[in-house]
Amino acid sequence: MEQGRPLPDDFADAVPHERTDASPRYLALARSLRAEIESGKYPVGSKLPTEMELCKQFGASRHTVRAAIERLVRLELIKRTPRIGTIVTAARAKQGYELAVGQVGDLLQYAATTRMRVLSRDLREVGDDADPALQPYHGQLWLVIRGVRTGDDADTPICYNEVWVHPDYRGVRGAEQDIEASVFHLIEKQFQVSVSRIEQVIHAAALPAEIAELLDMPPGAAGLWINRQYRDASGNLIEMAWSIHPAERFSYRMVLDRTWRSA
């Protein structure tokens, strides 16, 4: 940083030093700081640099630095104490995963930062017992891909995935082994389609024995079940996916901005 140049402020994310791609910059900062904590650069009991110092080191805004620090707090790596500072409280992050969603890009970024280990891939006919979203396609043969998703820096399973791919795209390549993003990314790349809308339903239910075993959890443990339907601009269903998470390892955070005011 040039001498005498002011530090970026809370609203400086539009300057060239800030990322404008699909991955929020605060995630990169959080991962760098996490790696430094886990490598021993900042041992347990030591202090992290102040927000202003981190702004200077990374050339980042206070808004970005605060978001990165908050992520490390949720991972229980650090603790913020008034008049003392930010203290390192653990050498390793807790096992778990938080999905923060504010727009479609955040949801797709989640897939881009995790890995799916494919367990099976086969064609299934949509029957009477299929999910309601699939009922309009009764009798069709859809590609079903089952797998377990893990984070980019941990072996602990995040969730069980079951993905139903529309027959038009069942020839998708690259879904025979570990997938370094999502099935939809593969479809998008091969077939030049774009997701316009994602419909999502979340409910809580116990984990069946088979899925619990895949997730290293006891049968009947609490689970978070997420159903997502990926649709194109015309509303046609491209893919339907189930993500089933152990409740104790996953949290879902959503920020809704109000864009109107009442009279």
> Is 9 part of any domain?
no
Tokens coding 163? 């993905």
Domain count of the fold of the chain: 2
Tokens coding 89? 């409280």
Residue 233 and residue 261 in contact, taking contact as beta carbons nearer than 8 Å? no
Three-state SS annotation for 198-257: EEEEEEEEECCHHHHHHCCCCCCCEEEEEEEEEECCCCCEEEEEEEEEEHHHEEEEECCC
Tell whether 162 and 61 lie within a shared domain: no
Range of the domain at 76: 25-88
Tokens coding 82? 């008034």
> Is 122 part of any domain?
yes
Tell whether 75 and 126 lie within a shared domain: no
* Secondary structure letter of residue 46 according to DSSP: P
Residue 262's CB is within 10 A of a number of other CB atoms, namely 4
Q: 70, 88, 106 — which closes off a domain?
A: 88
CATH number at residue 49: 1.10.10.10
Give the pLDDT of residue 249: 80
* Secondary structure letter of residue 179 according to DSSP: B
Residue 142's CB is within 10 A of a number of other CB atoms, namely 22
> Is 15 part of any domain?
no
Give the pLDDT of residue 4: 40
Question: Where does the chain have alpha helices with state H?
Answer: 25-39, 51-58, 62-74, 104-112, 183-191, 209-214
Give 60's Cβ-side CA count (13 Å radius): 23
Give the pLDDT of residue 3: 39
CATH number at residue 199: 3.40.1410.10
Tell whether 77 and 103 lie within a shared domain: no
Taken in order 167, 169, 170, 171, the sign of the CA dihedral is: positive
* Binned average pLDDT, 10 residues per bin, the chain of 263 residues: 38 37 72 89 93 92 90 87 89 59 49 80 94 93 94 76 95 86 87 88 94 94 94 92 90 64 53
Cα–Cα distance between 82 and 80 in angstroms, integer?
7
